[in-house]
Amino acid sequence: GAVVSQHPSRVICKSGTSVKIECRSLDFQATTMFWYRQFPKQSLMLMATSNEGSKATYEQGVEKDKFLINHASLTLSTLTVTSAHPEDSSFYICSAWNTRGGYEQYFGPGTRLTVT
């Protein structure tokens, strides 16, 4: 149990275009999902907290108008990178926190975004 999927696993897009990444909890409900960004040889940095039915909470320095987050259901959160630039190229990972509580977060497999 506690499986989180992400789609796509890899995406290459041209500078100026937008890319949508989906994060799904497959066998549990998640009122809260998290979006992280990981640059090569660095740690996971929290970008935003996504709450079902409400606006996302963004970490300091993360542009909310550039990284649009939608959490329309208890099993799906989406991250849209708008007007992507090469510096947005990174590994994006989501995680989900089980509504039934507990401490563990369950991570998706990640999405490798390359902006050319």
Using CB under 8 A as the binding rule, whether residue 7 contacts another protein is answered as no
Q: Which amino acid is at 20?
A: K
- Restricted to residues 59-98, the positions that interact with another protein (CB under 8 A) are 91, 93, 95, 97
List Cβ neighbours of 108 (8 Å cut-off, separation of 6 or more). Answer: 4, 5, 6, 23, 93, 94, 95, 96
Identify the CA nearest to 47 among candidates 79, 85, 25, 72: 79
Q: How many amino acids of this chain bind another protein (CB under 8 A)?
A: 20
Q: Residue 88 is encoded by which pair of tokens?
A: 């947005």
Between 7 and 82, CB nearer to another protein: 7
| Residue 54 binds another protein, judged by CB under 8 A | no
Here's the x/- map for another protein, 24-53, by CB under 8 A: it reads as --------x-x-------xxxxx--x----
